[in-house]
Amino acid sequence: MREVEEIPNSVTSHKGFNIGKVKASFSTLKDYGGFYGSQLCPKDTVKELEQLVSTADQYLDAWSKFDEEIRKSKLRPDWAKEYVLGRKELLDRKDGTFAWVDPGQTEVPFPISTSIQRSKRDEFVVLKQSLDKSEYVTKDQEGFWRKEVSERASKVREDFSRLAHERSLA
């Protein structure tokens, strides 16, 4: 199922994805997965796919709300996401500006990194505080999206690949 391949990368890069084709495939498989009493794919795979669709819907809803708040902030969206998700920090340069750095970095990199004015830094901080308790951020920090969406999608993909190989379809 090629539709499932994009899901792990989308979750890792904090993007949305199209679940429509996966839902259609699941629906078809659920309705026509058996042929004269024989299962075309293992029941465990169908259950896994059902859980993937359900959890992906939850991810997409939470991600959409998160992304909407990021876009409403008027900050640069890619930077805002990195800051809110804790992948980048702002280090005080002691001159009224802040350097864009990796987490835990204690010195301003040379050559001089990007400078951000205090007012923009304050906007980043307020945005982070408002989104820290959001479902998307909370579950990202817990590793829920990676485990329940990304890993499940990879498992479904592997199951279908193995099934195709076993039945000489690949």
Mean pLDDT of 70-78: 95
Share of the chain above pLDDT 70, in %: 86
Mean pLDDT of 81-102: 92
For residue 90, the tally of other CB atoms under 10 A from its CB is 20
Q: For residue 154, what are its two tokens?
A: 């990879």
CA distance 95 to 103: 20
Residue 47 buriedness (CB in 10 A; 0-12 / 13-18 / 19+): exposed
Domain that holds residue 129: 2-166
Q: In this model, does residue 168 exceed pLDDT 70?
A: no
The pLDDT value given to residue 36: 45
Q: In this model, does residue 35 exceed pLDDT 50?
A: no
Q: For residue 157, what are its two tokens?
A: 């993909």
Domain total in the chain: 1
Q: For residue 57, what are its two tokens?
A: 């819907």
